[in-house]
Amino acid sequence: MKKWIVLMGLVAVTAAADKPNIIVIMADDMGFEDTGFTGSKDILTPHLDNIADSGVVFKQGYANHPFCGPSRAALLSGRYQHRFGFETNPAYDPSNPIMGIDPGEVLFPERLQKAGYVTGGIGKWHLGAADAFHPNKRGFDYFYGFLGGGHDYFRIDLSQPVKEAYLQGLVRNKRPADFEGYLTTALSRDAVSFVETNKDKPFFLYLAYNCPHAPQQAPEEDVARYSHIEDKKRRVYCAMVDVMDRGIGEVVDALKQNGIYENTLIFFLSDNGGPQSSPKQPGKGNGSSNAPFRGGKGNLYDGGVHVPFIASWPAKIKGGQVFEYPVQSLDIARTAVAVAGADASYGPAMEGVNLIPFVTGKNKGAPAEAIFWRGGDGANWSVLASDGTKHLVDHDTKKPELYFLPDDVSEANDILSKQPERAKELYAQWKKWDADNVPCRLMGYKAYHKNRDQFFAEAIPGDAKKAGYRPKVKATFK
């Protein structure tokens, strides 16, 4: 009996050792061209470049949405976020039990928990601030970061209006938390600590930087390293990305020092493209470059959704690869669940494709026939076929367009009039996909704040009757 127990214990230990650690690193509002492996000449990203060299660069790597919250909802659920009505950025409101990701959705970290993984989330959440949406209730054993869509990089100031909580405190699990110095560095150091604490168990780490999202802030000494760049916004942006890259290097070093680097699957991507200035919004850009693509954050042109996207797993994936076919952020969740031996069968059906058989050469061709986008409850839409043909309606131009990306990466030559039948075929595919979507169930954060401010303004006691307030019981306003 004792021998049987010992044998079973050894089997369990061996099984745990075989499970790869999984790390997903997500940048925020990062331009496509802003890494060395995508062609940057002015930003130093040696650590990201090393990850790319050790694994695979997805030449056509796509975020699932052109801005923050919905992109993260898709990544973590492993489902098109339109299936559950998460098509806009939720407002920060800890008192609102609706303004967040549907509690019925199973986030993939929960699936990993059930497969024996320790799960950690560090950084930006942006999937709801109320208790029901808290990361500790959505599959994360550990969380350190902030629940809203962004944060100041140097300070907390609880005396200021809350709004989107850029100056509110951080949280560590369910308790208030602080940070010292520069926020990006604090998140990196916490990630290193998570790795070192859990090095003897299979773990999943979601390291969601808010870098290089606004506000554009970086340590003076790091900005000084880019003093040769004339554009001030670009100079600060480069420094922000540089600091993030060094922090990622520290995480990789922790893996190596603890002997677990070879069996760790690392993904890196951005949640969307970098925001760009325009004649209507000259101050919108954050200093990023989406070259050679058209548009930026908010657009369904490639500048809004085509992002730096790499994976490394030295024990399994041969280094120095470039994968030519389109992949998307949904595939990360499906891949993680597959390699962890987790259960994808319960709860709402996962989407996306396990990418490992494709990057190891077991499977040939494209992971998916097409990938899809939607915004504004279908007012804006896009479909990209595996051969690189893209059909879309973007909110900037508001008209159908057709491009063949292998010959036209900047989407400058609309071929709709030359290939109307191909456009009809792709639109039919999009309509079939869209049939399973639901209307957006959330109010956008700008409209939400406007309505909430109006509510309180009208609820001032002296103006209650003017606002149409009719209490069900008698009340005395003082």
Question: Is the bond preceding residue 275 a cis peptide, omega within 30 degrees?
Answer: no
The Cα 66–Cα 466 span in angstroms is 41
Using an 8 Å Cβ cutoff, are 118 and 203 in contact?
yes
Active site residue 126: yes
Instruction: State the pairing for strand pair 21-27/400-404.
Output: unpaired
Tell me whether strands 203-208 and 56-62 are parallel, antiparallel or unpaired. Answer: unpaired
Please give the distance of CA 140 from its chain centroid, rounded to a whole number: 16
Residue among 47, 65, 126, 306 flagged as catalytic: 126
The helices-and-strands tally (H runs, E runs) of the chain is 12, 14
Beta bridge partners of 122: 144, 207
Distance CA 346, CA 86 (A): 21
Q: Rounded to whole angstroms, how far apart are CA atoms 203 and 195?
A: 8
Residue 471's CB is within 10 A of a number of other CB atoms, namely 8
Residue 469: both structure tokens together? 């307030």
CB 36 within 8 A of CB 49: yes
Return the H-helix or E-strand segment holding 390.
strand 389-393
Dihedral sign computed on CA atoms, order 415, 418, 420, 425:
negative
CA dist 195 and 263 (Å) reads 13
Q: Which helix (H) or strand (E) holds 149?
A: none
* Alpha carbons 62 and 359: distance in angstroms, whole number: 16
Query: Out of 68, 211, 238, 440, which one is annotated catalytic?
Result: 68
Amino acid identity for residue 1 in this structure: M
| Cα separation, 63 vs 270, whole angstroms | 7
Strand order in the sheet with 380-385: 370-375, 380-385, 389-393, 400-404
Say how many C-beta atoms besides its own lie within 10 A of residue 192's C-beta: 18
Q: Within 10 Å of residue 257's Cβ, how many Cβ atoms? A: 13
- C-alpha 191/C-alpha 264 separation (Å) is 14
Cα 367 to Cα 370: distance, rounded to the nearest angstrom: 9
Question: Mind telling me the catalytic residues?
Answer: 68, 126
